[in-house]
Amino acid sequence: VRPLRGANLLVAAAVVAIAATLGAPDVYGPAALGGILLFVVAAGALAADCFPWRALHAATSAGTMLCGLALILAGPLGLPPVATGAVAAALQPLPALVGRRTTRSRAR
Amino acid sequence: MTAAPAGGQRAPRRLRLALVAVSMLCAILVLALGVVLVYWDRYLLSASGDPFTRGPFVLRVDETSAVLRWRVRDGARVQVVASADGRSVRARGGELAGLAPGRRYTWAASVDGHAAATGSFRTAPRRMRAPITFAVIGDYGSGNDHEYAVGRVLAAQAPAFVLTAGDNSYLAAAPVLLDRNIFEPLRPLLRQAPLVPTMGEHDLFWRGGEAIQHAFDLPGSRGRYVMRYGPIQVVLLGLEAGPAERRFAAAALRRPGPALRFVVVHRPIQAGNPILPILRRAGVAAVFAGHLHRYERRVVDGVLEFTVGTSGEGAGDLRFTRPTAGADVSRLDFGGLRVDAGPGGVLYTFLDERGRVIDRLRR
């Protein structure tokens, strides 16, 4: 799943960068495109997280799908693409970070 | 011995990859479906349909008031506002009061906060300073293409009111047929001008014309009443000019005030009818009749008479639709009569269903 999360991280970071430079309504087009990519790739990641079942991974993938939808609908609903993209970017390394901390605490 | 576990690990990995690919494909399809649904809802589905099952139509107009009527689906609440000269008047129960004489008012009937029907009408002037345009039709209520065409042509003339010489609904003026035969074909016309009908055999056949009388809230019975539009008086006699109608016309035409008087009767008045001297003495400008499915213009015992019997139903068998002897003009063209009544005289123009001028007379 790492390549999928890596791709999502790249897309989310790109959305944040574009949203920081472009103002509304110019930002909504690239944001929607990024949202479509996030939604599709996260759907694949979610499927991979289900077999075998990994709750945290699946939850972050589902959260990324929601962020993708929010970016697609950012224009009509007036949602901020910067914040949505930042949340999507933050979700990608989360399972790895939590997993590392758990491994360390078990080692102690 | 070592090949078996490696192959066993590869199979679930491929299955997982396939699952990932299928899920991504599903996500693309979900998005595509969402786009199609949103597009369908916002751009392909039409606006909500016409909430009115009848009208709104202008029922009556005088110098300072007007009445509109309608029938609406599902008991929807209708608000009517008329405006002219930068001033708006709100209707109460379809009645607009406090209007200025001799003005064209535009009106809008709103359902759920937006206009569902619009039109305009002209209030009657107090005096005959400028020409007043009105229309005359007869033998029209068949709901066919000719009636629709005549209705459109006359609507474009923007008449103040529309006189009908009877046979408003074929084969009978039953309540269930009125929308098909009158209100739908003449919809553009009735949104700007009240219909002032008298009655023919086909109207009276159904309970003595009860349906027409009720639909247009007529003051008299059997299509016999008097209508005033500012300086114009119209005496409507009903089916024919018999003894009772003669007395009624004599009394109505004695009333002082009108600058111009017209008479409407379904069956054309023939030479020698005792009503003709009464009409002549009263200075009746013209008699409008129907019954014969022709357009005819003639002078009968010194009274100008028009037969306007081709506004929809059509001639049928020509053996029974022969021209009247002595008629100056006799035609079979579908159409209606436009009348411009002004201080300098009256201009009569017969327009066919294509909008062409077929006959013209200034008096």
Angle ∠(B162,B330,B287) on CA atoms, nearest 5:
40
Which DSSP state fits B182? I
Residue A36, chain B, CB below 8 Å: the answer is yes
Of B15, B16, B26, which has the smallest distance from its Cβ to A43's Cβ?
B26
How many CA within 13 A on the CB side of residue B121?
Answer: 33
Q: How far apart are CA B320 and CA B305, in angstroms?
A: 20
% of chain A exceeding 70 in pLDDT: 96
Across B256-265, average pLDDT: 95
User: B62, B184, B61, B50: which is closest to B109 by C-alpha?
Assistant: B50
% of chain B exceeding 70 in pLDDT: 97
Q: Say if the Cβ atoms of B20 and A40 lie within 8 Å.
A: no
B51-79: pLDDT as tens digits: 899 989 999 999 999 999 999 987 788 99
* Helix or strand holding residue B131 (H, E): none
User: B298, B241, B284, B300: which is closest to B266 by C-alpha?
Assistant: B241
Judging contacts by C-beta atoms under 8 Å, the chain A residues touching residue B26 are 43
CB B329 within 8 A of CB B296: yes
Of A36, A46, A72, which has the smallest distance from its Cβ to B23's Cβ?
A46
Residue A40, chain B, CB below 8 Å: the answer is yes
Size of interface A-B (CB pairs under 8 A): 35
Judge if the upstream peptide bond of residue B277 is cis by omega within 30 degrees of 0.
no
Residue B33, chain A, CB below 8 Å: the answer is no
Of A98-107, B216-225, B240-249, the one with minimum mean pLDDT is A98-107
* Residue found under tokens 């009247």: B324
Judge if the upstream peptide bond of residue A77 is cis by omega within 30 degrees of 0.
no
CB B241 within 8 A of CB B275: yes
Q: How far apart are CA B164 and CA A58, in angstroms?
A: 78
Residue A71, chain B, CB below 8 Å: the answer is no
Q: What is the pLDDT of residue B3?
A: 44
CB B73 within 8 A of CB B51: yes
This prediction's pTM: 0.75
Residue A10, chain B, CB below 8 Å: the answer is no
Confidence tier at A59 by pLDDT (50, 70, 90): very high
Q: What is the pLDDT of residue B4?
A: 46
Rg (CA), chain B: 30
Of A41, A50, A72, which has the smallest distance from its Cβ to B24's Cβ?
A41
Q: List all residues 6 or more positions away from B200 whose beta carbon is below 8 Å from its beta carbon.
A: B138, B139, B165, B166, B167, B168, B239, B266, B267, B290, B291
Residue A91, chain B, CB below 8 Å: the answer is no
ipTM for the predicted complex comes to 0.79
Residue of chain A with shortest Cα separation from B14: A48
Which DSSP state fits B273? -
Q: What is the pLDDT of residue B6?
A: 53
Which DSSP state fits B207? G
Q: Say if the Cβ atoms of B23 and A47 lie within 8 Å.
A: yes
User: B166, B161, B162, B163: which is closest to B139 by C-alpha?
Assistant: B166
- Sequence length of chain B is 363
Judging contacts by C-beta atoms under 8 Å, the chain B residues touching residue A41 are 24
Residue B38, chain A, CB below 8 Å: the answer is no
Q: How far apart are CA B173 and CA B209, in angstroms?
A: 7
CB contact burial B126-152 (16+ within 10 A = b; e otherwise): eebeeebbbbbbbbbbbbbebbbbbbb
